[in-house]
Structure 1
Amino acid sequence: MSDKFYRMTVRMSIDCNGCYKRIRRVLLQMQEDLDSHLIDRKQQRVSVCGAFVPQDVAIKLRNKANRRVEILEIKEIDAGDGHRP
């Protein structure tokens, strides 16, 4: 596991309940990589936190959910600072 934690926000098309459930299922399957996730249907944004490689998570999310993923923000957080998400 890396000593760096990331918080990544991506934009995805969440048009209906089926889309929401598909994205949620994919995020739950990637639970070993992610500490937490938040799906904002109104803003059509997905935020994930954990010790992962951001590009790899975005690619997995795109492939498994069959949705376009646009990375909006990636924040790097040191684990030693005590600010772990």
Structure 2
Amino acid sequence: MSGQVCCMELRIYLDCPACCRKMKRVLLRMKEIEQHMIERQSCRVSVCGRFDPGDVAIKIRKKMNRRVEILDVQIFNNHDGQPE
């Protein structure tokens, strides 16, 4: 999926500021993720970039050692920026 931009919303339990810092560090080290947003109150993480959604969710689960739920995935065309 190197030619398509993907935006994915995940649910992961982030109970303290240290968990949010660890999540941010994990996301910043993943080269395929271009943008991210962490919402601690609603336990949601949104990521955008050129990646395979399943692979990124597995990487986050392994590094954070927490259950990760994929809530929504949007795949955009490279040419016009519209969702498929």
Query: Could you tell me how far apart the structure 1 residues matched to 2:2 and 2:34 are?
Result: 13
Q: CA deviation at 1:2?
A: 1.3
Q: Secondary structure at the match of 1:8?
A: strand
User: Where has structure 1 moved over 6 Å in runs of 4 or more?
Assistant: none
Alignment of structure 1 residues 6-85 onto 2, 5 Å: 6-30=6-30, 32-82=31-81
> What is the one-letter code of the residue matched to 1:20?
C
Query: Could you tell me how far apart the structure 1 residues matched to 2:20 and 2:26 are?
Result: 10
Taking structure 1 as the reference length, what is the TM-score of the superposition?
A: 0.90
Q: CA deviation at 1:82?
A: 3.9
The alignment-based identity, stated in percent, is 48
Query: Could you tell me how far apart the structure 2 residues matched to 1:47 and 1:36 are?
Result: 8
Query: Could you tell me how far apart the structure 1 residues matched to 2:78 and 2:47 are?
Result: 16
Matched pairs, number: 82
Residues 7-64 of structure 1: CA distance to partner in whole angstroms, max 9, x if unpaired? 000000010011111111110110x101100001111100000110000000000001
Taking structure 2 as the reference length, what is the TM-score of the superposition?
A: 0.91
Q: Secondary structure at the match of 1:9?
A: strand
